Amino acid sequence: MQPLDLVIRGGTLVTATDTMDADLGIRDGRIAALGDGLEAERVIDAAGRLVLPGGVDTHCHIEQLSANGLTNADTWESATRSAALGGTTTVIPFACQHRGMRISEVAREYHALAAKGAVIDYALHLILADPTPETLEQDLPPLVEAGHASIKIFMTYPAMQLDDAQVLDVLAKARELGALVCAHAENNALIAWISQRLIARGYRTPRYHAVSHPRCSEAEAFQRLIAMAEFLDQPVMIFHVSTAEGAAVIREARGRGVKVWGETCPQYLFLTADDLDRPGSEGAKFCCSPPPRTTADQEALWRALALGDLQTVSSDHAPFAYDETGKLAAGQDPSFKEIPNGLPGLHWRLPLLFDAMVHGGRGGLGSFIWTTATEAAWLYGLHDRKGSIAIGQDADLAIWDPERTVTLSDAMVEDRTGYTPYAGRTVRGWPVTVLSRGHVLVEDGALTEAAAPGMGQFLARKAGPAAEPTGRLSPEFDPARNFGADLR
Ligand code: URP
Ligand code: ZN
Ligand code: ZN
């Protein structure tokens, strides 16, 4: 046997399904051996620690031009360094098309930024805001072929929103190319209508951001999206589910056999609309869309995760500093319509979830790994390399001290927002050592010199089983039954 480069010795290795007290050997960036008495020149002592797959964060915005015209606060370097500190070793951010842009050019630009700055490995979703024939027929096929196997669409945000016919166009093209479609699904008219009335009557502080996203705007858009996806038999992933009603819509559709997946985020499990009602403009720190809701919704989302109605928890890291470059770009007293949407979360997602799931009775360690790494990788076609501990997988690992308690604070922040929405919260369990393809990026909770820009590699991927159609076309669409010709 060739010598190992590194051995993690004496820890408890845990996957979504198995636990073993064993050494783990790494060669050429991959897991090469599991067993007793492994030797290498470099050894990490993991006695008393849990050795887990590194986290896979499948929804985060990095150095992205967003719907409000502002670019996120983070660079690829700052975002992925903060991810590594929180135990995450793979991210899937976006290459974001705005109207009038060529998605081929957009993808090139985002690739250049990522290659220069990323500290950990990454894939990219493609945001389509302008699904013209040029986008769908010329630019998209080679991009999917080159490993961008997921497309994101917005059903709200006037600058990005697709109308229903455009949603159908994207779903049909994704089906043809074999890509998963992910959606920000809210009813834009409901939001715009109530927002305009709130502002006109002087209800303008951050707390009204939550009021301006009625609960039904989520459930209605989910239903509409699912109807279109079911009609075309194209699998969809619904991003950032925030309400009990939204989760129920997904549950009902899945019960009928529709291939719809669901994601929620820490902000919907740990924050509520009351956080937007903090003094002065501080509520701006918690303005994201959809907004945090109620403790009853939190319970419903935990239940939906436990039942498998929702499959994954991503950060939806969308960083804006709490200053004039970000949250307060419109002044010290912005109306809720002037506050850029989004929260930082790459650093906080796993510690919050570990504390709640492993120590707080919300599913246990196996579910934590499944939800935050294994199934996350599987959903997006990364499971051949990421998301578990097995011979041949990339040596992307987080070594957790399951008992270390940490009180989250703004002083810990590595990203460029300068704040954490979870300041003051104490969590038990912390990723003290983090490896990406065998490189030790974090040691005793601090970044090492190896956490350098350009370390991360692009993960070209084909859509996995999650994106495969069921084969059950709706009778009205099935060309063989009705038209004798392919409608697409
Ligand atoms: O408020 C949020 N979530 N901002 C980020 C962009 C998006 O909507 O996903
Ligand atoms: Zn969104
Ligand atoms: Zn997002």
Ligand closest to the CA atom of residue 320 = 1
Instruction: Kindly report the number of other CB atoms within 10 A of residue 124's CB atom.
Output: 25
By CB atoms closer than 10 A (0-12, 13-18, 19+), residue 428 is middle
Q: How far is the CA of 317 from the centre of ligand 3 (A)?
A: 7
Integer Cα distance of 203 and 335 in angstroms? 8
Place of tokens 């370390």: 455
Q: Which CA distances in Å does 35 have to 12, 53, 236, 423?
A: 11, 17, 40, 40
Lowest mean pLDDT among 53-57, 85-89, 106-110, 469-473: 469-473
- Cα dihedral across residues 321, 326, 329, 332: positive or negative: negative
Cα(66)–Cα(262) distance, integer angstroms: 22
Mean pLDDT estimate for the chain: 97
Question: Cα of 59 to ligand 1 centre, how many Å?
Answer: 10
Mutate to test the pocket of ligand 1, among 59, 61, 64, 271 (most ligand atoms within 8 A of CB): 61
Q: Which helix (H) or strand (E) holds 12?
A: strand 12-14
Give the pLDDT confidence score for residue 477 in this predicted structure: 78
- pLDDT tens, position by position, 443-453: 999 999 999 99
**Cβ–ligand 1 contact at 288 (below 6 Å):** yes
Pick the range with the lowest mean pLDDT from 74-83, 253-262, 314-323, 474-483: 474-483
Which pLDDT belongs to residue 139?
Answer: 98
Cα dihedral 426/395/367/178 (nearest 10): 120
Residue type at 268 in one-letter notation: Y
The string of pLDDT tens digits covering residues 382-435 is 999 999 999 999 999 999 999 999 999 999 999 999 999 999 999 999 999 999
Strand partners, 327: none
How many angstroms separate the alpha carbon of residue 58 from the centre of ligand 3?
Answer: 10
Range 197-232 burial, b when 16+ CB lie within 10 A, else e: ebbeeebbbbbbbbebbbbebbbbbbbebbebbbeb
Ligand 1 pocket, mutate which of 161, 316, 327, 343 (most atoms under 8 A from CB)? 316
Model confidence over 146-205: pLDDT tens digits? Answer: 999 999 999 999 999 999 999 999 999 999 999 999 999 999 999 999 999 999 999 999
**Total length of the chain:** 488
Answer yes or no: is pLDDT of 249 > 80: yes
Question: For position 67, what pLDDT does the model report?
Answer: 87
Closest-lying ligand 1 atom to the alpha carbon of residue 157: 8
Which one-letter DSSP state was computed for residue 214? -
> What pLDDT, on the 0 to 100 scale, is given for residue 33?
98
Q: What is the pLDDT, as a whole number, of residue 346?
A: 98
C-alpha 59 – ligand 3 centre gap (Å): 6
The CA 119 to ligand 2 mean position distance, Å, reads: 24
Please list the alpha-helical segments (H only) found in 308-439.
349-354, 364-369, 375-379
What DSSP designation does 318 have?
Answer: -
Ligand 1 contact via 342 beta carbon (within 6 Å): yes
Stretch 274-303: mean pLDDT: 97
C-alpha 289 to ligand 1 mean position (Å): 5
Position 219 pLDDT exceeds 60? yes
**What DSSP line would sit under 64-130, residue for residue?**
-B-TTSPBPS--HHHHHHHHHHTTEEEE--EEE--TT--HHHHHHHHHHHHHHH-SSEE--EEE-S-
Answer whether 155 contacts ligand 1 (Cβ < 6 A). no
Atom 8 of ligand 1 has which residue's CA nearest to it?
289
pTM of the model: 0.97
- Which two structure tokens, joined as six digits, stand for 484? 């004798």
85, 442 Cβ separation under 8 angstroms: yes
Percent of the chain past pLDDT 90, that is, above it, reads 95
Under a CB-based contact definition with an 8 Å cutoff, are residues 352 and 313 in contact?
no
Which ligand ends up closest to the CA of 72? 1
Closest of 294, 298, 271 to residue 283, by C-alpha = 271
